[in-house]
Amino acid sequence: MQSTFSTPPANRRLSTAARQLLLVGLLITTTGCGWLPKQEAQAQSSGERGERDQSAAVETAIAQAGSIEETLEYTGTTEPVSQVVVRPQVEGQLLALNVDVGDRIQRGQTIARLDDGLLVAAVREAEAELAARRSEVAQAQAQVSDAQTLVEQARLQYQQATADARRLQSLAGEGAISIQEAETAQTAMQTAEQAVRSAQEQVRTRQQAIVAAQGRVNAQEAIVDEASRRRSYTQLSSPITGLVLERAAEPGNLIQPGDSLLQLGDFSSVKVIVQVSDRAVSSVQVGQSATVRLDAFANQAFDGRITRISPAANPVARLIPIEVTIPNPDGRIGSGMLARVSFESSNADRVVVPEAALNASEGETPSTLFVVEGEGENARAIARRVQVGERANGQVEILSGLEPGEAFIARSSDSLTDGQSVRLSILSETQTNEAANAVN
């Protein structure tokens, strides 16, 4: 007999109720764990995307000082800061030339000597003539002394004659002597007075002779000084400290005044003369810094300075010579080296930003840019008013309102408003962190 197992109806009803109860519990549990109906989940997702869409993606840059002007490079050749050609002032045979090309010399060093035999004789002759002139002065002084003695004698005679005339005039009045004797005494007094005047005139004449003789002495002293100075010209000394660049004569040559013997150069500094257009010269001035690069020292730049700007341009090329001086304390820089000169802009200390970073309403001059305040989700674009200067090559100068080292928004995915939330690019965050580290 086959037996069959079956569930009683009451038990089947119980199992169905348990399953329904389990399903309701599971639904409640999953709802509490965060499951939302489809419509609510879609609404929440749209809200999150809306918040993200309101944050503009931006790229920041660090403000740096610079110049919008294109740096031009000019070529020239190095020269000593000063060059001197040694030329004799007197004629004579060259007896010695003590230096050669490349030798270093000091100021005042004797570098050449001429034969001075004829000039020594001229000095001696002039000195002999001077001695004669001084003798004339001595003789004239002696004559003045004699004349002064005669004046004193004549004065004494005049005093005696005056006393005699007065005494005899008194006796004649008393009748003791005749009138004729009194008149004779009066005449003698007048004669003695005239003798005094004549002696005094002789003194003045002798004194004038002394002055004339002294003048001849002074003139002869000048001749002696000139002859001595001409003799000194036979010893040639270096007027500068530097190097010998050229030697143009040899010992034994007969040298005429003005002939070239040596060419000397002062290399304590070197100069480079470059030709600048008349339009570009307006941007440079005396004292302005310049950078000089020499092919001989390819890995080194030298600091120079403009020392002279020619007032006259070349009438054909319309170029103006500008002199740039470079310190050369160690003497490494020589003459004739190719030099490349660039001038630093006078506005190199101003902040320069891309012109596209500025924002303005239509018809207005761009004068607003945005900086970022805050970090991460709190980053906001803050509008800042700035004063702008010159514009060129897509760049603009910021005269005020932005300092070097500050981060500004250089590019954004959308137009910005003051206080708008922004998202920084990875490159922007890296630049900002590097700038902050540099400041710290």
Q: What mean pLDDT value characterizes the chain?
A: 81
The pLDDT of residue 135 is: 93
> Mean pLDDT throughout 160-185?
86
Tokens representing 302 are 């030298």
Tokens representing 280 are 């570009």
Q: Is the pLDDT of residue 330 over 50?
A: yes
User: What percentage of the chain has pLDDT greater than the value 90?
Assistant: 42
Highest mean pLDDT among 62-76, 121-135, 398-412: 121-135
Amino acid at residue number 171: L
Q: Is 365 buried (19+), middle (13-18) or exposed (0-12) by CB count in 10 A?
A: exposed
In sign, the C-alpha dihedral spanning 123, 125, 130, 135 is: positive
Of 307 and 10, the structure prediction assigns the larger pLDDT to 307
> Mean pLDDT throughout 355-373?
69
> Mean pLDDT throughout 349-355?
79
Residue 322 bridge partners (DSSP): 274, 309
Residue appearing with tokens 């740039």: 324
CA quadruple 336, 313, 323, 69: dihedral, nearest 10: -110
Beta strands in 228-315 (DSSP E): 235-237, 242-247, 254-255, 262-277, 289-294, 297-309
294, 337 in Cβ contact below 8 A? yes
Which architecture characterizes domain 118-232 according to CATH? Orthogonal Bundle (1.10)
The pLDDT of residue 353 is: 84
Q: In angstroms, how far apart are the furthest CA atoms of the chain?
A: 231
- Judged by average pLDDT, the poorest of 13-27, 165-179, 365-379, 424-438 is 13-27
Tokens representing 422 are 């922004």
What is the distance between the alpha carbons of residues 216 and 129, in angstroms, rounded to a whole number? 10
Q: Which residues contact 409 (CB under 8 A, 6 or more apart)?
A: 58, 59, 60, 357, 369, 370, 371, 372, 381, 416, 422
Instruction: Give domain limits for the chain.
Output: 56-69+349-439, 118-232, 266-343
Tokens representing 125 are 């002759």
Per-residue pLDDT band for 434 (boundaries 50, 70, 90) equals low
Work out the number of other CB atoms within 10 angstroms of the CB of residue 136.
Answer: 16
95, 81 in Cβ contact below 8 A? no
pTM for the model:
0.55
Of 195 and 36, the structure prediction assigns the larger pLDDT to 195
The pLDDT of residue 12 is: 41
Please report which helix (H) or strand (E) contains residue 396, including its range.
strand 395-400
Q: Is the pLDDT of residue 406 over 60?
A: yes
The pLDDT of residue 306 is: 95
Residue 354 bridge partners (DSSP): 395
- Judged by average pLDDT, the poorest of 33-37, 135-139, 287-291, 347-351 is 33-37
What is the distance between the alpha carbons of residues 214 and 405, in angstroms, rounded to a whole number? 82
DSSP structural state of residue 359: B
CA distances (Å), origin 403, targets 345, 375, 379, 400, 417: 19, 20, 20, 8, 22
Q: Is the pLDDT of residue 299 over 50?
A: yes
Q: Is the pLDDT of residue 361 over 60?
A: no
Per-residue pLDDT band for 357 (boundaries 50, 70, 90) equals confident
Tokens representing 308 are 């002279």
- Judged by average pLDDT, the poorest of 107-116, 190-199, 377-386 is 377-386
- CATH of the structural domain 266-343, one choice from 2.40.30.170, 3.30.420.10, 3.40.1280.10, 1.10.3720.10: 2.40.30.170
Q: Which residues contact 56 (CB under 8 A, 6 or more apart)?
A: 381, 412, 413, 414, 416, 420, 421, 422, 423
> Among 68, 70, 61, which residue's Cα sits nearest to residue 402?
61
User: What percentage of the chain has pLDDT greater than the value 70?
Assistant: 80
Which architecture characterizes domain 56-69+349-439 according to CATH? Beta Barrel (2.40)
Residue 274 bridge partners (DSSP): 322
What proportions of the chain, in percent to the nearest 5, are helix, strand and coil? 40, 30, 30
Per-residue pLDDT band for 92 (boundaries 50, 70, 90) equals very high
> Mean pLDDT throughout 244-249?
95
What digits encode the pLDDT tens for the residues 182-227?
888 889 989 989 999 988 998 898 899 999 999 999 999 999 999 9
SS3 296: coil
